Every structure is written in structure tokens, then in C-alpha cells.
Structure 1
């Protein structure tokens, strides 16, 4: 089992509360979501692995067992065209858990009319493959969000 940890500090709200039907309906996979604290910060890798997809607003890290974890920084933030986001790694990089991958400002995202809520999703997983799913309460960077068998 792998432990998927929080890429940001904030409040866990669960995927059902995400204001986007693709995430709230678990269409890309099960997981949870974090309403991040406001202010400039860095989103970190939730697992150790390889960055297989990297955009200013989202990234996927795949661990050695083939588990892909998507972190999406805000909702509809692709429409910001990278403004307010700074990439700190490159696609193909091997990263460690907790390594900063993107610098961003959730308050600026919100000021731009977008939700800063961050889904953290186990790609292509079945819901029963996750354990100890955190869907409420305060979380800090590095806190466990769920286990994945």
C-alpha cells in the first residue's frame, strides 16, 4: 500500500464538495480535495515517483508501483493560462514526497474568479482500493490523505 499525502495545507472537504462534476463524480478516480489556505505557497508531491504530466495548474506523479496521483490546483484554473503559477520541476523528473513542484497563490486564483480547491485523485483506481480517506478537518502538507492498495 502507498500513502498519499497532502500537497497543500488547508481543510479536507472530500471530492463530493468540489464545484466541478468531473471531480465530484469521481470520473477520473476516487480521492479527496483540500480547500487550501490563502496566500502564496508551494504545492508538493504527494508521493515519490516520476512527474508524468505537468501543467501550471495540475500535475501527475506516478510511483514505482504504477500508481498515478493527480493534484489539480484549483477548478477551471486552466483558463488562467499559467498566470500566477510557477513550475519548479520538469516533466520526467524523479521527485520525492514533499518536494515542491509548483509555486502558486490560492488567493490570487480566487480573486481571478476561480475556485482554489485542490482535488487529489488516485487515477484509474476503484474506490475500494483506497483506505483511511480523509474528507474533513484540517490538514497540513505531508499529512496522510489516503492509503492506496
Structure 2
């Protein structure tokens, strides 16, 4: 049994509806190839939702080890656990359009710090799903628990990584 103090609370980087990763229209996420987690589907009227822009925030405190216009990875202080936030599906094809970086790769950031400003509506208008997979990279089976389901606000708990 793992030590409860070792649990890492992973927060929602955006507001929307939390659903199983199996709902993501990309097998890399839906089949758990990169790890378990939760998908957040942005919705109109929720902190920017589909209509306007919103900030995607750091889901944990740690080091911003990877930063792209459409995705980022924060490594926990223990340097054993990284959390991937991917803004939309196939959004790399947008070449940064509709995304503004608010932090710098390599920075130490606190949970809740804005990392990227983006427009789920623009992503959808470009024919890309605006779903946001939040993944515990390479986590062991059963390591992710207390998965959120339903409406979540930015900064609320999405899951716990043990």
C-alpha cells in the first residue's frame, strides 16, 4: 500500500465536464497509451468555454518541463511524476494559432498558474475536438484514483495519483 502523504492531487487545468479518457477521439489517449487520467470537455458558458478564450493552468506544482502552444507537461517536485495537459486533439496542426504561451519552459510553477491562453471555440471551428486530456504520464495501473466525473471548475480536483 502506498503512503497517503505521497498522493498527488491533480487539478483541472480548464473548466468543463470531466469524463473518462475513453471519450477522447484519439487512441493515444482513449486507450491509455501514455497513461491514465481524465478528459475535460470545455462547454459554453463555463469560464470562457467554447465561446471565448480561457487560461489553461498548471494542474500541479512543479517544473514546466515541456511547453508547446497546444500542450504542456509539469513534473512534480519528486521528479517521478509528470502530468500532461493536451489542449484539443490534433491541435499541433494549428501551428500555434489560437494559443498564447503565458509561462516559460523550465520555469518552476505553482498549481493554478496560467500556462497557456487558448480558445476552445477556435479549435472547434478549425474542425478539431476541443477536449483536454489530463494524463498521469506512465502511471502504473491503479495509481490514479478519485477521478472526477461531471462539471469541474478550473482548479478543482480531477484525480489523485498515488
| Interval of TM-score (by shorter of Structure 1 and Structure 2) | over 0.9
Aligned to 2:150: 137
Structure 2 distance, partners of 1:139, 1:127, is 24
RMSD of aligned alpha carbons: 0.7
Shift of 1:127: 2.6
1:14 to partner: Cα distance: 1.3
Cα deviation per residue 1:18-62 (whole Å; 9 max; x = unaligned)? 000110000000001000121210000000000000000000000
Give runs of aligned pairs for residues 24-103 of structure 1, distance below 5 A.
Answer: 24-36=30-42, 37-38=49-50, 39-66=52-79, 67-103=81-117
1:114 alignment partner in structure 2: 128
Residue 131 of structure 1 deviates from its aligned partner by 1.2
Q: CA deviation at 1:100?
A: 0.2
Which runs of at least 4 in structure 1 moved beyond 6 Å after TM superposition?
A: none
TM score, norm. by length of structure 2? 0.90
Supply the distance in 2 between the matched residues of 1:2 and 1:20 (Cα, whole angstroms): 26
Structure 1 residue corresponding to 2:20, chosen from 11, 14, 26:
14
Q: Structure 1 unaligned segments of length 5 or more: list them.
A: none
Structure 2 residue runs without a partner (length 5+) = 1-6, 43-48
CA distance in 1, matches of 2:141, 2:157: 17
Counterpart of 2:129 in 1: which secondary structure? coil
Q: 1:13 offset after TM fit, Å? A: 1.5
